[in-house]
Amino acid sequence: MPVPRPRLCALYLALAASLTATPSLAQSYAGKTIELIVGAPPGGGYDIYARVVARHLGRNIPGEPTIVVKNMPGAGSAKAAQYVSTIAPKDGTSIAGIMPGAIMGPLLDDRTAPLFDPTKVRYVGTANSGTRVCVTMKGGKISKFEDAQKVKAKFGGSAPNDSTFEYGYLHKHTSGALFDIVPGYRGTAEMALAMERGEIDGLCGWDWSSFKSQKPDWLRDNKANVLLQVSLDPHPELTKMGVPSVFQFVKNDDDRKVVELIISQTVFHRSYIAPPDTPQALLDVLRAAFDRTVADAAFLADAAKLSVDIEPLSGAKVQEVVGKLYATPPAIVDRARKAIRPD
**pLDDT band, residue 1 (cuts 50/70/90):** very low
Residues 279 and 221 in one domain: no
Residues 154 and 255 in one domain: yes
Residues 277 and 243 in one domain: no
Higher pLDDT, 296 or 5: 296
pLDDT at residue 246 in the model: 97
- Of all residues in the chain, the percent with pLDDT exceeding 90 is 75
- Of all residues in the chain, the percent with pLDDT exceeding 70 is 91
Q: What is the pLDDT of residues 296-305, one digit of tens each?
A: 999 999 999 9
**pLDDT band, residue 251 (cuts 50/70/90):** confident
In a domain? residue 2 = no
Residues 169 and 275 in one domain: no
pLDDT of 130 strictly over 90: no
Residues 298 and 308 in one domain: yes
pLDDT at residue 264 in the model: 87
In a domain? residue 199 = yes
What is the residue-averaged pLDDT of the chain? 90
Residues 81 and 205 in one domain: no
pLDDT at residue 112 in the model: 57
CATH code for the domain in which residue 167 is found? 3.40.190.10
**pLDDT band, residue 309 (cuts 50/70/90):** confident
> Which of 247, 264, 281 lies at the terminal end of a domain, its last residue?
264
Residues 202 and 224 in one domain: yes
In a domain? residue 4 = no
CATH code for the domain in which residue 312 is found? 3.40.190.150
pLDDT of 182 strictly over 50: yes
pLDDT at residue 201 in the model: 98
In a domain? residue 5 = no
In a domain? residue 274 = yes
pLDDT at residue 21 in the model: 43
pLDDT at residue 81 in the model: 96
- Total tally of structural domains belonging to the chain: 2
| Enclosing domain of residue 168 | 132-264
Residues 136 and 251 in one domain: yes
> Which of 264, 284, 305 lies at the terminal end of a domain, its last residue?
264
Q: Three-class SS string for the chain?
A: CCCCCCCCCHHHHHHHHHCCCCHHHHHHHCCCEEEEEECCCCCCHHHHHHHHHHHHHHHHCCCCCEEEEEECCCHHHHHHHHHHHHCCCCCCCEEEEECHHHHHHHHHCCCCCCCCCCCCCEEEEECCCCCEEEEEECCCCCCCHHHHCCCCEEEECCCCCCHHHHHHHHHHHHHCCCEEEECCCCCHHHHHHHHHHCCCCEEEEEEHHHHHHHCHHHHHCCCEEEEEEECCCCCHHHHHCCCCEHHHCCCCHHHHHHHHHHHHHHHHCCEEEECCCCCHHHHHHHHHHHHHHHCCHHHHHHHHHCCCCCCCEEHHHHHHHHHHHCCCCHHHHHHHHHHCCCC
pLDDT at residue 22 in the model: 47
pLDDT of 140 strictly over 90: yes
Q: What is the pLDDT of residues 194-228, one digit of tens each?
A: 999 999 999 999 999 889 989 999 999 999 999 99
**pLDDT band, residue 233 (cuts 50/70/90):** confident
Residues 168 and 122 in one domain: no
Which of 100-114, 276-290, 300-314 is least confident?
100-114
Higher pLDDT, 51 or 232: 51
In a domain? residue 200 = yes
In a domain? residue 37 = yes
Residues 125 and 272 in one domain: yes
pLDDT at residue 113 in the model: 65
pLDDT of 331 strictly over 70: yes
**pLDDT band, residue 266 (cuts 50/70/90):** confident
Q: What is the pLDDT of residues 63-79, one digit of tens each?
A: 999 999 999 999 889 99
Q: What is the pLDDT of residues 9-54, one digit of tens each?
A: 444 444 444 444 444 665 679 999 999 999 999 988 899 999 999 9
> Which of 226, 248, 264 lies at the terminal end of a domain, its last residue?
264
Residues 199 and 272 in one domain: no
Instruction: Please state the rounded mean pLDDT for residues 276-281.
Output: 95
pLDDT of 187 strictly over 70: yes
In a domain? residue 15 = yes
Residues 29 and 176 in one domain: no
